[in-house]
Chains A and B, each alone.
Chain A
Amino acid sequence: MSTIRARSPAAYWLALPAALWMIGAVVVPVLLILWVSFWGGRAFSPASPLTFDNYARFFGNRTYLALIGQTLLHAATLMAICGVLGYCIAYFLMVKLRNAPLRTALFLAFIIPFWTSALIRAIAWVPFLGVNGVINRALLALGITDAPVEIFLYSRTGISMAQVSLYTLMASGPVVYMLAQIAPALREAAMTLKAPPGVVFRRVIFPLTLPGVVIGQVLVFLNVMADFATVQTIGGNKIALLSNLILNFYEGAQLRAAAVVSVILMACMLIGVVAAMRVVDIRKLGG
């Protein structure tokens, strides 16, 4: 018993506005992209015949195909780096660090930037990475190089560097959550059963945090795939990944091509999520 009765019709009326909003702002527009991606003919209109021409044109271009590969490779690289870093940080904060106030302080230091504008954080990397940037000046001052290194700004290295700082928390958060669920007695039980620390980690702790690792990987994957803003900020116009292609086509008024890329991007993401779901039952996270 509460202020709303189970299965009361009132619940429908309360849920309706939010549901309509989400359908109108997310579901319909996304379905529309799918529809538009099949529009053939010359004119851009709903009366267009449905064809695979747009897809054929996209997949017929080697550059675009290579771009899909590059994008996936870039995402995989970030998943690996953020995954390892995020796990180490989560493990240190939750398991190794015993000092509670220090732990809270480090947690805050870890999380707070996440709530600030990602765009500003990406821009903040620009003065770091440039030819006259902080990194190059430091390298020159330390005598590591005698000429400024140009690999940072307008390069995939620079993009990755910024994205690692943006997305490691996403890989780490679910692991922190899973680590917090593990009763300390489990670790102790394993030790009294003659398992040394390395084995305790491999056989007990890691398997129990695996769902968190997978969720974290999914989050990093989805965000990196969709992150055109960091690529644009740091890569300038020199580097483009799949998501930037949507922007380019849109600005070039090639809406159908943009729709095709959108659908491909969505397909990649869906495949990623489904693959992850096969590894772990995400619904178990809550339990």
Chain B
Amino acid sequence: MPEAPVLAQLDLEIRGLRKRYGGFVAVDGVSLKIAKGQFVCLLGPSGCGKTTTLRCIAGLEEPDDGDILIGGREVTGDPPWQRDIAMMFQDFALFPHMTVGKQVGFGLEMLKRPKPEITKRVTEVLRAFEIDRFADRKPASLSGGQRQRVALARAMITEPRLLLLDEPIGALDYALREAVMIELKMLQRRSGISFIWVTHDQNEAFSLGDHVVVMNHARIEQQGTPEEILQRPRSPFVAGFVQGNNVFHGNVARIAGDAALIATPFGEFAVPLRDTVPLLGAIASFSVRAERLRPMPPEPGCNHLTLTCRTIEYFGSIRRYILERGDGEVMKLDQFGAEPACLIPGEVATVGWRAEDGVLHEGAPS
């Protein structure tokens, strides 16, 4: 049974963080709590403020407003070297003039640990990261994967409370990334150190994060488990940003029981209500996941529309049909690859989904 998170046990708490660069607002009122030993992913398009948030946590940027607490201690005004964090940089930022051994021991040296202890710990850590062969080499002679390990070893050796990772595998070959992701996840679990991983790649975020924070335009759009964000996007932005959603925009036509009827140019669709009841006539949007759609004859309790199948894409075990809507926009329908194909390109078909599978958005339309 995990203990209930108490304030003092939060690894990180951010309250109302704001950061401006001249006229550009990079972070606009971000608040975040991270319990002990969490794997958190900050996900969003470039320029959404995720990296600035991370740099504020590290102390590399001074926020204009807001508080940052690490391990319950207020650190907002503290410089980076006084914070209980470590950071992994996008291109690893290895010191070109230091050998791997020196490099990895740097953090301990800065903590003024005795020499024999440093030597011993460095040996251990180099072995644990399988880079002991390179102890006397300089970074220039290492491969991308080896550099990544050195950077990680260098950051982890001081066992900080938080490890901040800024697109840490972006510089690696595509083939390497998956293996490295699994390793990092295991490492995070074993070490119990909270990881804050900044990425624009949702595959990374959803396969690694215990907690995913989706950011857009300097604000947090939604945060929660990968399941919550994938299945119940709160805003049209999140629904559109996350792969596999079909988004509809319209107005609230009617409230019927626990469902709202949304009028769109393609007809009226019933969508279950969430926490708040929208006003009649208000602009509204909802989304349906591609895997919830299937070709079907009209049935009560379901929504339908007629679409033209344009092409079929294959994603591993998924077969995705690209369907054209009346306005020229495309919709996606996913089918498990093991089943027989249900549509052929060029076919005009009635496609539908159960009304309860629609997700009404609460956030503002973007």
Contact = CB atoms under 8 A, between A and B. Distances in A.
The answer to whether any beta carbons of A and B sit under 8 Å apart in the complex is yes
Interface of A: 183, 185-186, 188-196, 199, 203-204, 207-208
Contact of A192 (B86, B91, B96, B97): B86
13 contacts: A183-B91, A185-B89, A185-B90, A186-B93, A188-B60, A189-B95, A192-B58, A192-B86, A192-B164, A193-B86, A194-B81, A194-B111, A208-B96
Contacts of A196: 79, 81
Contacts of A192: 58-60, 80-81, 83, 85-87, 155, 164
Given A188-B80, A208-B96, A194 B89 contact: no
A183 B93 contact: yes
A203 B98 CA distance: 10
A208 B58 contact: no
Contacts of A191: 59-60, 79-81
A44 B326 CA distance: 102
Contacts of A208: 96-97
Interface in B142-180: 154-155, 158, 164
A190 B107 CA distance: 8
Interface residues of B, number: 26
Contacts of B81: 191-196
A249 to B, nearest CB: 46
Contacts of A204: 95, 97
A106 B268 CA distance: 67
A186 B151 CA distance: 12
Nearest to A186: B93
Interface string B45-73: 00000000000001110000000000000
If over half of A's interface residues share one DSSP class (helix, strand or loop), that class is named, otherwise mixed; here it is helix
B1 interface: no
Contacts of A190: 95, 106
Interface of B: 58-60, 79-81, 83, 85-87, 89-91, 93-97, 106-107, 110-111, 154-155, 158, 164
Given A183-B93, A208-B96, A189 B87 contact: yes
Nearest to B80: A191
Contacts of B93: 183, 185-186, 188-189
A204 B103 CA distance: 11
B58 to A, nearest CB: 6
Nearest to B102: A203
Contacts of A203: 106
Contacts of B107: 193-194
B156 to A, nearest CB: 11
Given A183-B91, A188-B60, A188-B80, A193 B96 contact: no
Nearest to A200: B81
Nearest to B87: A192
Max count, chain A CB within 10 A of own CB: residue among B106, B111, B164? B106
Nearest to A207: B97
A189 B91 CA distance: 11
A183 B60 CA distance: 14
A203 B102 CA distance: 11
A184 to B, nearest CB: 9
B56 to A, nearest CB: 13
A188 B95 CA distance: 11
Contact of B110 (A185, A188, A199, A207): A199
Contacts of B94: 189
A70 B342 CA distance: 95
B73 to A, nearest CB: 16
Contacts of A189: 87, 89, 93-95
Given A193-B106, A196-B79, 6 more contacts: A188-B80, A192-B60, A192-B164, A193-B107, A194-B81, A207-B97
A33 to B, nearest CB: 41
A195 B86 CA distance: 12
Nearest to A199: B110
